[in-house]
Amino acid sequence: MFLYKKCEVCGNKINKLQSIWNLYLIGYGRVLYCKNCNAKYKVSQIISFLYMMLTDFMPILLFFLIMLNFFEKLGFSSDVALLFSIIIYTIFKLCVLAIMPLHKVKE
């Protein structure tokens, strides 16, 4: 499954969503720990930068302007359109998190 990383040291499955905040912070370099051997994993700095650009700056234009306009044209009120846009944005971030590669941190 995409939400798990297999530990390179002990073979244990590490859940990328150890806490709900990982949905937002793993792309910024949050370190994940293996519960068996305490090996550390995180994303590279290049992928972290791309994650920031893809999930923070682009959605302001794409999701919250285009999607709001789209839902309002369908006849939804502004509040409901904003709620749908936030839900779609959160699902988008979860999908990006699921495919984000983690590598072992060298100590």
Question: pLDDT tens across 52-89, in order?
Answer: 877 777 766 676 777 777 777 888 777 777 787 778 87
- Is pLDDT at 93 greater than 70 in this prediction? yes
Q: At 48, is the pLDDT very low, low, confident or very high (cuts 50, 70, 90)?
A: confident
The number of angstroms, rounded, from the C-alpha of 93 to the middle of its chain's C-alpha atoms is 4
Tokens found for residue 13: 């499955």
- Is pLDDT at 14 greater than 80 in this prediction? yes
**Rg of the chain over CA atoms, in angstroms?**
17
DSSP state, 18? S
Q: Tell me what the pLDDT averaged over the chain comes to.
A: 80
- Is pLDDT at 107 greater than 70 in this prediction? no
